[in-house]
């Protein structure tokens, strides 16, 4: 009995250590299961939640639900393939899997995709700060002055928040330290979803015409009762933004392997449970917030959901608090998204050198500077969701996991995972290419 117990213990130890030995050597107790779930959920949920109601308005309720189920299921399955490859090879980073599959070009390709994806994600989060934080401060202060004061400058506030809050959290050396802030960010997202449900019965439909300041998407006559009819299926040019926005919203693959490395008692099955719980909870929050956001504004939902509430309930206390909650959640999410971006940049520029605080700090500051520049000059958050979602998000979510599995795995040609990997690869290439072509076509037409 004791020999069998020792044998099983040795097998479990061998299952845990190969993944971690490459980078961490002897390892102290890692992040807890709950902390890892919160970190992965924080990596999944972010600014994408503000764009999903717009996606539902352009696909219909049934169409949106079907697409959301497909994208979330494929996201969980692609993580399964990545974890399976890590288990087979002992590799502990997405970039190293790319190198194993496609030699050095694969490493560079994945590193660039991770860097672009996460910089795009962080810039979309900071874009929300730039557009929403001045209005949030002004509404809480009940400022009635007609002149311009410093806190009404979103660019200045963005720089101050980045230096005082984001930079100290982003410069932390390990992602596990962010478990508490990730749990807090998820609570803020739950609060946002609750308020979206509540406000469905506060804003009348048809939407009132006597608003003097309307966003572009609300400049439509609302006299017809048909404006309040939900569509089950919608197909239009704007539907091209749906899958990229969902891919952007469910992409957590750049954070999966760092979280796996720091998980206490890391095994593939344990990390898969972390992934399944995180994606399932995120799916629920996404679906509820998108559904009730759409049922509030119907075809006139804005590309950033909060803008509709700002227009029709500008002085509502609950809306003001939910806006602040989203802003705090965004601030706490940026450091977590920064972690894999910095890791990819260091791997591309400096290789597998030992940890250096000088390189670590310099890379952190440089990435945040690039993100700040993009957040200041990007005109519409929908552009970030569309372009980044159809290119790097599709590659990291669908194309790379399928391609790497086909190149690295030794499983037979007709195995279930082999067929699944082929489907992921084809789906990612076709959907990403079609979405990007349609988005560029709409840009050309509008210009």
What the chain holds in terms of domains, given with CATH numbers, is 29-446 (1.20.1740.10)
pLDDT surpasses 90 at 367:
yes
Please report the pLDDT score of residue 264 as a whole number.
82
Please report the pLDDT score of residue 423 as a whole number.
92
pLDDT in tens, 286-301: 999 999 989 888 888 8
pLDDT surpasses 90 at 201:
no
Give yes or no for a contact between 371 and 342, defined as CB atoms under 8 angstroms apart: no
Highest mean pLDDT among 49-63, 166-180, 316-330: 49-63
What is the Cα–Cα distance from 324 to 129, expressed in whole angstroms? 10
Span between the terminal Cα atoms of the chain, in Å: 75
Is this structure's pTM higher than 0.85? no
Please report the pLDDT score of residue 114 as a whole number.
87
What is the Cα–Cα distance from 394 to 410, expressed in whole angstroms? 25
Residue written as token pair 């959920």: 41
Please report the pLDDT score of residue 80 as a whole number.
92
pLDDT in tens, 368-401: 999 998 888 876 656 665 666 667 778 888 889 9
Please report the pLDDT score of residue 25 as a whole number.
41
Please report the pLDDT score of residue 207 as a whole number.
67
pLDDT in tens, 92-126: 788 888 999 988 899 899 988 888 888 888 887 88
Q: Which residue in 126, 101, 158, 110 sits closest to 47, CA to CA? A: 126
Q: Which residue in 88, 93, 284 sits closest to 190, CA to CA? A: 284
């Amino acid at each position: 009995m004791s020999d069998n117990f020792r044998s099983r213990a040795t097998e479990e130890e061998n299952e845990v250590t190969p993944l971690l030995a490459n980078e961490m050597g002897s390892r102290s107790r890692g992040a807890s299961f709950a902390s890892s779930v919160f970190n992965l959920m924080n990596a999944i949920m972010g600014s994408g939640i503000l764009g999903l109601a717009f996606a539902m308005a352009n696909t219909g309720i049934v169409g949106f639900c079907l697409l959301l189920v497909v994208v979330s299921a494929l996201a969980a399955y692609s993580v399964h393939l990545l974890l399976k490859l890590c288990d087979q090879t002992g590799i502990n980073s997405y970039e190293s899997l790319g190198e194993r599959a496609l030699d050095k070009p694969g490493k560079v390709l994945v590193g660039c995709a991770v860097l672009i994806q996460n910089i795009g994600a962080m810039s979309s989060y900071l874009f929300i700060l730039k557009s929403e934080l001045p209005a949030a401060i002004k509404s809480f202060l009940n400022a009635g002055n007609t002149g311009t004061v410093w806190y009404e400058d979103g660019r200045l506030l963005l720089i101050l928040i980045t230096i005082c809050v984001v930079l100290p959290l982003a410069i932390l050396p390990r992602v596990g330290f962010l478990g508490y802030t990730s749990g807090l960010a998820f609570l803020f997202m739950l609060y946002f979803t609750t308020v979206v449900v509540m406000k469905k019965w506060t804003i009348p439909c048809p939407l009132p015409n006597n608003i003097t300041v309307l966003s572009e998407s609300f400049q439509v006559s609302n006299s017809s009762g048909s404006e309040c009819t939900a569509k089950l299926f919608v197909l239009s040019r704007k539907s091209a933004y749906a899958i990229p926005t969902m891919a952007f919203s469910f992409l957590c693959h750049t954070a999966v392997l760092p979280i796996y490395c720091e998980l206490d008692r890391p095994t593939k099955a344990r990390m898969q449970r972390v992934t399944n719980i995180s994606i399932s909870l995120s799916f629920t929050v996404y679906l509820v917030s998108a559904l009730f956001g759409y049922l509030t504004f119907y075809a006139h939902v804005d590309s950033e959901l909060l803008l509709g509430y700002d227009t029709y309930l500008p002085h509502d206390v609950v809306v003001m608090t939910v806006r602040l909650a989203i802003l705090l959640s965004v601030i706490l999410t940026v450091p977590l998204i920064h972690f894999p971006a910095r890791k990819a940049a260091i791997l591309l520029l400096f290789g597998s050198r030992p940890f250096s605080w000088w390189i670590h700090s310099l890379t952190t500051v440089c990435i945040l500077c690039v993100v700040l520049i993009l957040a200041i000059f990007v005109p519409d958050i929908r552009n970030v969701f569309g372009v980044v979602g159809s290119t790097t998000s599709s590659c990291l979510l669908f194309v790379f996991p399928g391609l790497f599995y086909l190149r690295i795995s030794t499983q037979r040609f007709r195995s279930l995972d082999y067929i699944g990997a082929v489907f992921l690869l084809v789906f990612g290439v076709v959907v990403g290419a079609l979405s990007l072509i349609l988005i560029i076509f709409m840009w050309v037409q509008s210009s």
